[in-house]
Amino acid sequence: MQTIQVAGGNLYRVAAQYLGDATQWIRIAQLNSLSDPMLSGVVTLRLPEVDAQAGGGVAAQ
């Protein structure tokens, strides 16, 4: 598992850059107990392993 720091932005961009798929932003959100894809300030995030088969986009209700 990788840990990164980002200054603002959103999880869509982080997922696209590190996981290769912006729709997998929800995997990052769940791993970091976040509900909002928008980030403010400097945030430390844990990233899941890259998984091209993982679904993404919508949190399970």
DSSP 6: E
pLDDT tens readout for residues 4-60: 999 999 999 999 999 999 999 999 999 999 999 999 999 999 999 988 777 665 555
Q: What's the number of CA atoms in the CB half-sphere (13 Å) around residue 4?
A: 13
Per-residue pLDDT, 57: 58
Contact, 8 vs 2, CB < 8 A? no
For residue 1, give the nearest of 51, 48, 50 by alpha carbon. 48
The answer as to whether 42 is a domain residue is yes
The answer as to whether 24 is a domain residue is yes
The answer as to whether 59 is a domain residue is no
User: Domain count of the chain?
Assistant: 1
Range of the domain at 43: 2-47
pLDDT tens readout for residues 16-26: 999 999 999 99
Query: SS3 for 57?
Result: coil
